[in-house]
């Protein structure tokens, strides 16, 4: 009987561990400060429709202590982890980072690229909100202030791969179809992956083992929303990544 109770307790603990999804939001304000802006007394905060989407953080209230972000050591990176119940998976989260309080938030500077790069939308009143579909697993996203990418130009939560495979992507930008030209020196397993600005894989083409030669593979981007994407070319265990812009 005790063994049954132990097993039941273990199952309850296991189910509880999957009862929520944790999203860690990070923002790097290095470029923001370099542009002459000053960090407010209350630091960096986050605002969004969190309660509406099942989180305990209040909706659109960066002044609330629950929405205060924490500075990571002596860096210019600020972070907050927000927990969502599994029932929230698939919902669209609207949010933005805020310096101190409203009036010094993202999405109001004409130079912001949140909408253009495909990780946010304009609300029609001159403000751009970031968007995220609540994932089905824990995720960490890091952005540069007012941008969809990290300050080094790589997608949020995604490490750009060094140039070890030579390939080209064209036309770039494109509205629907992109071509990938590459060479295979020795018989190798080949695949092409496509990632969005959040570092989420949105497409993969497993081409199998290919013999030496020059090749061209077509990527169908017709259903992709406008924004910045990254094409990762994998040949024989080596990889390189190239940026692709989708314009509709």
- SS3 sequence, the chain? CHHHHHHHHHHHHHHHHCCEEEEEEEEECHHHHHCCCCCCCCCEEEEECCHHHCCCCCCCCCCCHHHECEECCCCCEEEEEEEEEHHHCCCEEEEEEEECCCCCECCCCCCCCCCCCCCEEECCCCCEEEEEECCCCCEEEEEECCCCECCCCCECCCCCCCCCCCEEEECCCECCEEEEEEEECCCEEEEEEEEECCCCEEEEEEEEEECCEEEEEEEECCCCCCEEEEEEEEECCEEEEEEEEECC
Q: Which residues of the chain have pLDDT under 70?
A: 1-18
Predicted local confidence at residue 122, as pLDDT: 87
User: Are 20-144 and 167-246 in the same CATH fold?
Assistant: yes
Fold of 20-144: Immunoglobulin-like (2.60.40)
**Euclidean distance between CA atoms 59 and 63, whole angstroms:** 11
Over residues 200-223, the pLDDT tens digits come to 899 999 999 999 999 999 999 999
Predicted local confidence at residue 170, as pLDDT: 97
- Identify the sign of the CA torsion 64, 99, 198, 95: positive
Query: Prior bond to 173 cis, omega within 30?
Result: yes
In terms of Cα–Cα distance, which of 232, 230, 222, 228 is closest to 245?
228
Q: What's the whole-model pTM score? A: 0.84
Predicted local confidence at residue 12, as pLDDT: 43
Q: Provide the residue ranges of all domains of the chain, joining segments of one domain with +.
A: 20-144, 167-246
Superfamily of the domain at 167-246? Macroglobulin (MG2) domain (2.60.40.1930)
Predicted local confidence at residue 18, as pLDDT: 54
């Amino acid at each position: 009987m005790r063994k049954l109770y132990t097993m039941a307790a273990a199952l309850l603990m296991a189910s509880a561990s999957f009862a929520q999804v944790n999203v860690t939001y990070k923002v790097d304000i290095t470029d923001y400060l370099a542009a002459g802006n000053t960090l407010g007394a209350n630091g960096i905060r986050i605002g969004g429709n969190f309660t509406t989407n099942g989180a305990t953080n209040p909706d659109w209230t960066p002044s609330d202590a629950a929405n205060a972000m924490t500075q990571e050591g002596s860096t210019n990176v600020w972070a907050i982890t927000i927990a969502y119940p599994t029932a929230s998976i698939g919902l669209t989260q609207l949010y933005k980072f805020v310096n101190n309080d409203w009036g010094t938030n993202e999405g109001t500077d004409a130079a912001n690229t949140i909408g253009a790069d495909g990780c946010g939308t304009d609300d029609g009143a001159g403000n751009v909100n970031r968007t995220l579909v609540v994932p089905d697993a824990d995720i960490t996203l890091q952005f540069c202030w007012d941008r969809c990418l990290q300050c080094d130009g790589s997608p949020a939560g995604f490490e750009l791969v060094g140039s070890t495979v030579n390939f080209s992507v064209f036309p770039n930008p494109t509205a629907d179809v992109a071509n990938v030209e590459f060479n295979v020196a020795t018989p190798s397993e080949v695949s092409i992956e496509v990632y969005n600005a959040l570092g989420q894989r949105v497409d993969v083409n497993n081409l199998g083992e290919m013999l030496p030669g020059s090749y061209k593979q077509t990527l169908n981007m017709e259903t992709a929303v406008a924004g910045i994407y990254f094409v990762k070319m994998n040949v024989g265990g080596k990889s390189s990544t190239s940026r692709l812009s989708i314009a509709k």
